[in-house]
Amino acid sequence: MMTEYFSLYQKRIWIIMVICLNLEFVHSLPYVEEQNSKPYKILVSMTDPTSMHSRTSQMAVVSKALLERGHSVTLLVPSNKGMKGFEEAFNHAIVYDVAFKQPEVDELKEKMMRTALGIPDDEPGWNLLRPLAIVDRYLAFFMKSCYGVFENETIQERLEKDGFDLMIQNAINPCDVLLAESLNIPYVTMTSSIRQTFFDEVTVSIPTPSSYVPFSLSKSFTDDMPFLQRTSNFIFRHAIGSCIKWYAHSLFSEIQREHNVSVHKTFGELVGRSQLWLAHTDFSLDFPRPIGPAWIPVGGLLHSETKPIPKDLENFVQGAGKHGVIIFSLGSMVTSLMDGELDELFAKVFSELPQRVLWRYVGPKPRGLGKNTRVMKWLPQNDLLGHPQTRLLIYHGGINGVYEAIYHQVPMVLLPIFADQPAMGARVSKKGMGVVLERAKLSHDTIKAAIEEVINNPKYKANIEHYGSIHRDTITSPLETAVFWIEHVLKFGGDHLRLRGRDLNFFVLNSFDVLTFFIVISLVILYTNYLVLRTCYRCCCRKNTRKQKSD
């Protein structure tokens, strides 16, 4: 009987010990606890009616990750865009009508491409100030989209009723700033490239010296600029860029006044209210420069581990043998060079190479297409870049594809066309990860020489492996970093990350008042010394005069 009692007692002791150990184990797993943290209501605003695939995909991947973390995600989109690209990335969607159709937006994008490619346009007055005219027309679409949100009472009532904890916006359409302010909710800003036109580091008071921080995305500037480039960079930073930003803000200030959105604040103050800036940049690609606590680099949001490619594509790739394959893609906006002669030129060069070529191309096939070249309307670019047979990426320089190439360590030949692509080309070239072709100087020899240089010269592969390793050498992935900081702001707010320089005026921020104080004090001291010396001198002179008279 006593033996059974002790046996039962031992069993109870073991059960208590197991429970305690399990409790201690669970307590030691903070991530498990975080997984079950409070769910929040998040509004993902995509009010940019002109958004390209690159911007949409970046927002969508973050939205989906937040959804998987248990948060409620509501998507706000204009009727011309719909939910394309956001499949399985939201709980609810709010679609509002805009006063235009998608073909109108596509027409403007085509004009932008024709401008970038240097193709003449017959529209009167268009050729003189094409870039500024394009910016103005984009802003017109942004304004119409913004009015579509604010003048729709049903949409406004629903947004206010839902009571969101946070809004995530892309730093392209200033309307999102007004929307967050009108709903009285904090917001997080995502940048789709290394810099945006209407939002930049100056907005949050991060120092950006024009002597080594390139500002113009349309120029191939690096952090090592000669005098003329630094002069051009200074002008763009302090004149052209500031004027464009001021013009955009002034337009949306009209909506701010019309709808009584914190009219006592300037539009710049509203922009500076962003709790967090998720910047699509990474110093494996970008140049070192100052950043702030709320400016979080998350470059490479879209790259991922390689997945198997379709069997027919695998057979084509493996058939290249030791020479490998080349990937040729000009991104989602430009699937052909819009020039038949150039298409034929590339086709001829490819036909002379020992490598096989996979070409993302839409339109009639070039007549000179070689047997080693396969054209496709769509390519699984990330998976192909991760394939061991891939030797080179020929690309237009879009930031997402460049990060994919860096991640998978594939050297590049870039053909920048517009927007931030020249800036990407400058970074890839400066770091020796590839070479850059100029469209105006394209010829059979220049194209072939660039391809052979990058494939045959081992320094490009060595450099891309070096910077690719730097890009991979992180505690968490870019997506995990973005989600962590969004949840951090949801829990604690972002005031502790905010640089106070944003609250200071120009003179106080640059210590001109302190310098003025020291100058005044110095002048007072100098003037006092002058008075003392003058008095001493006069006294000495008087004594000498009296002495001479007495003598």
Give the CA dihedral 95, 265, 275, 160, nearest 10 degrees.
-30
pLDDT at 376: 92
Confidence class of residue 538 from pLDDT cuts 50, 70 and 90?
confident
pLDDT at 521: 95
- By DSSP bridging, strand 72-78 and strand 92-96 are parallel
Confidence class of residue 550 from pLDDT cuts 50, 70 and 90?
low
Q: Are 426 and 214 in contact (CB under 8 A)?
A: yes
- By DSSP bridging, strand 434-436 and strand 412-414 are parallel
Least trusted range by pLDDT, from 133-137, 326-330, 530-534: 133-137
Full-model pTM: 0.85
Q: Which tokens go with 159?
A: 């947004």
- For 396-469, strand residue ranges (E) read 412-414, 434-436
94: three-class secondary structure by DSSP: strand
pLDDT at 13: 46
- What is the rounded average pLDDT of the residues 338-367? 89
Q: pLDDT for 21-39, tens place per residue? A: 444 433 443 333 344 467 9
> CA 226 to CA 223: how far, in whole Å?
10
Q: Are 111 and 138 in contact (CB under 8 A)?
A: no
Q: How many CA atoms lie within 13 A of 328 on its CB side?
A: 24
Pick the residue with more confidence: 35 or 291?
Answer: 291
CA nearest 63: which of 146, 167, 161, 172? 167
Sheet holding 187-191, edge to edge: 92-96, 72-78, 41-45, 166-170, 187-191, 276-279, 295-297
Q: pLDDT for 405-431, tens place per residue? A: 999 999 999 999 887 889 999 999 999
Q: pLDDT for 221-280, tens place per residue? A: 999 999 999 999 998 888 888 888 888 889 999 999 999 999 999 888 888 899 999 999
Q: pLDDT for 102-112, tens place per residue? A: 888 888 877 77
